[in-house]
Amino acid sequence: MANMAQAVRMALHYAEENLGVTDVFGEDVGPPLGGVFTATQGLKTAWNSPLDERGIIGVAMGLAMAGQRPVAEIQFCDYIYNTIDLLKIAGNTCWCTNGDWNLPMVVKTPVGSGIRGSIYHSHSFDATATHIPGWKIVMPSTPLDAYGLMLSACQDDNPVLFLEPKALLRIKGDEPIPGEPADERALSKMIDAPLGDRSAWKPDWPALEPYFVPIGKARLVREGTTLSVVSYGRMLPLCVRAAAALAETGIRAEVIDLRSLWPYDWEAIRDSVEKTGKVLFVNEDTEVTNFGEHLLRRTVEELFYRLLAPPRLLAGKFVPGIGLADPLEAASVPQLSDITEAIRSLAAEQA
Amino acid sequence: MSERGPSRPRPQLVRAEGEGLGIDRELLVRMHELMVKARVLEERLIQMYKAGHGYFWIGGPGEEAFNVPLGLLMKRGQGPAYDYLHGHYRQSATLLALGEEPVGALRQMKNTATDPYSAGRNFAGHFTKRAWNIAPITSPIEVQYAIAPGTAMAQKRFGGDGITIVTGGDAGTAEGDFASCLVWSSRPGQELPILIIVTNNHWGISTAAATQQGAKSLADRGKAFGMRTASVDGNDVVGSYLALKEAFGYVRSERKPFLMEAMVSRLYGHSSASGANPVPGEVDCIATFEEQLEKGGILNRAAMVQVRERWTKEIGEAARRVRDEPMPAPESIWNNIYKERS
């Protein structure tokens, strides 16, 4: 099975061939490197940009204005912060011009911790991103969803932010990308750039098929009745593992992968919470004015009388950075043990 | 001539004194009319603000001599075959020169539902018109310099002779986006068809340029990137027209960047936040031009007065009509957040 980086690469290839994507660009995105996470190797429209995040976002906007369909990369979301007002303009252009202009553009950027990335390669961006109206924001937790969400992002006529949980980019999926060969070594031979001199290398793309994950649609990953766990990105597989382990103790946690942060699938959350009466929101961004707090507020306001216990949020600590040393990172963002404990504790709480 | 100081570079393409005005009479008359029309429009906008028919004024009185030729030289239309303009909020004269009706600006000032640029959402002077490749003008200073290379890149790819024009003020060249524009427009082997313009009025709101930037010439910044550059007297309409024509021609045919600095006036200060009152000591490009036209026997005083009176009447009547137009409906805040697929 393809890993998430390969899935993103295949989606971009499909989008270049079939969805009108004209540019995949950013720092080290083109040859020879093909992206620091290899997600853009071998793409025919990939090119390297100057080391200038504001230029990258600005040029993506200009290309989109002139009828192109760019996919721009910010190498790590930790470096996207100096583009915030351009992201704001990209998000408000359609509204400010009362529909005169729209910007069909995708910005992809790796987010989150889990690779020992220390202070400037571990940050999350979902809390900040969800403060910028006018964008659609997606964040996959599996290679297949990464493929399907990227196709939807490339097809959209509005700016879409594609957040890549960087610790999951090298993780293989359980479900194949439609069209990928059964043998993953064969896939690697076809689409992974060789080590050493790559100047003559060309990928041999498999016959990929369309697979669109609609933006705004969550996925019910695990059914349960005791409580609901709503998460996305890197935290999602940890939630699934915690739920599976706790099933042996009789706790049946339902796990929802939100997949889209904006617009998000409130119906999926509501239906689950109405069934279980308990909900835990999990993400790794800093916990103050965290997106999970919005979900929690809405849960309280709209579902209060269906709740059997106070809804909870498990998120990253509100500290200025994620330290390099293992104990520092583990103390800063939720770990499997934290999630397990949070589920156990919520399950045990009596109304 | 409208030289204002010894450090001011001389315009490059202006005819020598006593040689006539250097371009044909019909064009001179047309530019005069558009300059007056733009000035009358701006003065009406200021009046509307002062009468409480708008919350904020910002605009371009003092930039007409540069902005009118700019609009006249643009290739108007939609898509990469035509010119893109990434303007700033002192650009009304360019819009009028392109053929825009002044009533839209009045509607935006009055923030009516009929405001063609933003339906009551944005400040005066914040034009947009996709049908003519006019990119949305925004309030943040200089962001347009980071965006403009994108349309130019699409035009380079498209072929044809469409170019991108980006304009901004001198104070904002301190922002990194200006440097981004220079870098992205001049990547080796991938130079872009972009005319980068700085209208230099020597001020950033209340701060004198000379107290903040040590660069002797903003145009010279282009030289480090191998760009052709020019510094022009933006108060001289003939000189501006000829310099712009030269620059447009170069960018159109060579498909390479050109950086132009135009020295202009700021006749009513930064915006209504600083009072929107006439500022003494600033050169008025229309007064200068009218003296030239009279002296050159192109137009007599009575004809020029008549032009002003005609536009004053017409734009005044439009402003009165706009006064009674409805405000946007509260529920309209939810409209056009996204473009939906048709």
**CB count in 10 Å sphere of residue B326:** 9
Mean pLDDT of B123-136: 98
Closest partner residue to A50 (CB to CB) among B157, B183, B340 is B183
Q: Is residue B11 domain-resident?
A: no
From residue A21, alpha-carbon distances to A15, A151, A273, B111, B320 in Å are 6, 10, 39, 37, 48
pLDDT exceeds cutoff 60 at B18: no
| Domain span at B309 | 25-325
d(CA A297, CA A287): 14
The complex's ipTM works out to: 0.96
Q: Which of A193, A192, A172, A163 is nearest to A283 (CA)?
A: A163
Best of B338, B340, B341 to disrupt the A interface by mutation (most A CBs within 10 Å)?
B338
pLDDT tens-digit readout, B215-237 = 999 999 999 999 999 999 999 99
pLDDT tens-digit readout, B150-172 = 999 999 999 999 999 999 999 99
Q: Is residue B1 domain-resident?
A: no
Best of A19, A45, A56, A59 to disrupt the B interface by mutation (most B CBs within 10 Å)?
A59
From residue A176, alpha-carbon distances to A9, A148, A208, B33, B183 in Å are 14, 12, 11, 68, 42
Q: Calculate how close chain B gets to A55, using CA atoms only, in Å.
A: 5
Predicted confidence at residue A101, as pLDDT, reads 98
pTM, entire model: 0.96
Q: Is residue B331 domain-resident?
A: no
Q: Is residue B309 domain-resident?
A: yes
pLDDT band at B20 (very low <50, low <70, confident <90, very high): low
pLDDT tens-digit readout, A205-259 = 999 999 999 999 999 999 999 999 999 999 999 999 999 999 999 999 999 999 9
pLDDT band at B17 (very low <50, low <70, confident <90, very high): very low
For residue B84, give the CATH number of its domain.
3.40.50.970
Q: All domains of chain A, ordered by start, with CATH? A: 4-191 (3.40.50.970), 219-348 (3.40.50.920)
**Contact state of A96 with B341 under an 8 Å Cβ cutoff:** no
Looking at the 3D structure of chain B, how many domains does it have? 1
Q: Is residue B15 domain-resident?
A: no
Chain A residue nearest residue B175, CA to CA: A54
Q: Is residue B14 domain-resident?
A: no
Q: Which residues of A touch B79 (CB under 8 A)?
A: 66-67
Q: Is residue B188 domain-resident?
A: yes
Predicted confidence at residue B342, as pLDDT, reads 61
d(CA A238, CA A245): 11
Predicted confidence at residue B3, as pLDDT, reads 37
pLDDT tens-digit readout, B62-71 = 999 999 999 9
Predicted confidence at residue B105, as pLDDT, reads 98
**Contact state of A52 with B117 under an 8 Å Cβ cutoff:** no
Q: Is residue B19 domain-resident?
A: no
